[in-house]
Amino acid sequence: MDRVTEPAPADPRVGEILDLLSSKGMRKTSARRAILEALLGDQSHPTAEDIAAEVRSRFPSVDLSTVYRTLDTLEQLGIIDHTHLSHGPAIFHLSGDDHQHLVCEQCGAVVEVSPDKLEPFLSALRTEFDFEVDRRHFALVGLCAGCRAPGRSRPG
């Protein structure tokens, strides 16, 4: 009798993460697979709502609460992090994808910055205030060059 195998996901990290969940006693479900595929898909910085919309296109019965529970589980296991971009909803990405976000509060543009660019500032906070910043959950908010250009209105 031939053994039926699952098709390989487009991103090999999906299978690795599902295997990790399985090793922790959690089931490999089609909803979890779809959530991981949406999280790791083409769109950068997806929100839970973005992920849910992508998942629902394939599995209409998967609701937003399932997406949030799965994202919460993945975050508790250290697989993903969430970041708040200004006043909008949190975005999600893999924990190993280490970068800081700069967000324009006028146009919403998001720029990823290598953590080494912030190290002098973070080092000064450690030295002067004995304070260690957890950069994972916040973005630096301001105005991009285009929105600062002469003649452009500024947020009130």
Per-residue pLDDT of the chain (156 residues; tens, 9 = 90+): 444 445 444 788 999 999 999 999 999 999 999 999 999 886 778 999 999 999 999 999 999 999 999 999 999 999 999 988 877 788 898 887 778 889 898 888 888 898 899 899 999 999 999 999 888 778 888 999 999 987 666 555
Q: What is the pLDDT of residues 19-28, one digit of tens each?
A: 999 999 999 9
| Helical axes 64-76 vs 30-39, angle rounded to 10° | 70
Largest CA distance in the chain: 72
Q: What is the pLDDT of residues 70-93, one digit of tens each?
A: 999 999 999 999 988 877 788 898
